[in-house]
Structure 1
Amino acid sequence: MQSKAIFFIFVNQTESMSEKRLKRQKIKKKLFSKNRLVILNEDTFEEMFSLRLTLMNVFVVATIGAVLIIFVTTYIIAFTPLREYIPGYASTDLKKKAVELTLKSDSLEQAMKRNNQYVESIKKVLNGDLEYAKLNIDSIIVAEKIDPEAADLQPSENELELRKEVESKTKKN
């Protein structure tokens, strides 16, 4: 009895396999069967345009067209001012204002630091920690505005001698 049941299951599997194969063949036949698209003049029945198509060609052309439309739309939105009308994108005016406000806040922060240094130096003088002669507001401003190009970066004679000394020691080793 068990062999009959197994045989019956095997027969059902082969039938389903052949049914699947038949369905695939029908679908393949429908996809690749040739059809003709004809445009006629309704008054004279003159053939204006004729095109041989398969369903697969229509799917391929439709897919390529959809991808191109998506690509062009994305390109237009990303690289033109139209992106400002989409929620989530900041306008160029808003970006400019943000940059200006950032620069202003940075300069205000630097001014606050200078003022705090000046107040601290005045507190030290009032407490007697510093002499009045050492307090100079210009020195605080100058300390912030050191120009690296104006600084003297030429080595002194002592530095040149030290360099020669180090070079000679490294050559000996």
Structure 2
Amino acid sequence: MSEKRLKKQKLKKHLFTKNRLVILNDETFEEVFSLRLTLMNVFVFASIGAILIIFVTTFIIAFTPLREYIPGYTSTKLKKDATELALKSDSLEFAIKKNEAYLESIKKVLNGNLEYAKVNKDSILAISVDTLPDLQLTATEAEMNLRKQVAEEEKKKIEKRK
């Protein structure tokens, strides 16, 4: 037999040799517990136990408030507060812009650059509201070529079905 085969057989014999685990009372030498084990059984149970502990720990950390103590995770309350503050700051910024536009028009009236009859708070605020510019969206040549190619492929598919 080859040397590798002998090593494998020796390892197999060593892994599956039955051993006895005995727990004795130290004073009376009475057998309290006895268990027959192989090295392979011990390895399998230890591996399963380790995987189970990892799984339970991961589950506890991922689905309980403990995850907030891990760097990189934020609390849900913090996320909610940040969103509310962002919305409030946006609305306050918009209100400040409207008030600034109104004050500018008042200054124009006081300096004599604008007639008083033209100063109406509603019309000034309506003008000062920032709107998005009208965008002229046109397709480029590459987009047009792609559209033609897709249309041709769809026609071929339809013809194949018939």
Report if TM-score (shorter chain) is over 0.5.
yes
- Name the counterpart of 2:33: 49
Q: Deviations over 1:124-157 (max 9, x none)?
A: x9977xx828x4427957xx9xxxxxxxxxxxxx
Q: How far did 1:93 drift?
A: 4.4
Greater C-alpha radius of gyration = 1
Structure 1 residue 26: Cα displacement: 0.8
Q: What is the CA RMSD across the aligned residues, in angstroms?
A: 3.3
Contact between 2:102 and 2:124, CA under 8 Å: does it hold in 1? no
The match for 1:61 among 16, 20, 45 is: 45
Match of 2:137 in 1: none
- Deviation per CA, 1:21-64: give whole Å up to 9, x if none: 11111111111111111111111221111111111111111111
| From 94, 97, 117, the counterpart of 2:78 | 94
Q: Where does structure 1 lack aligned partners over 5 or more consecutive residues?
A: 1-14, 145-173
% same residue: 70
Once residues 59 and 119 of structure 1 are traced to their aligned partners in structure 2, the CA distance between those partners, rounded to angstroms, is 81
Unaligned stretches of 5+ in structure 2? 130-162
Matched residue count: 124
Counterparts of residues 1-173 of structure 1 (less than 5 Å): 18-112=2-96, 114-115=98-99, 132=118, 135-137=120-122, 140=125
For residues 59-113 of structure 1, the C-alpha deviation after alignment (integer angstroms, 9 at most, x for no partner) is: 1111111111111111111122222222222234433431232221232244245
Q: TM-score, normalised by structure 1?
A: 0.56
**Which amino acid in 1 is paired with 2:122?**
I
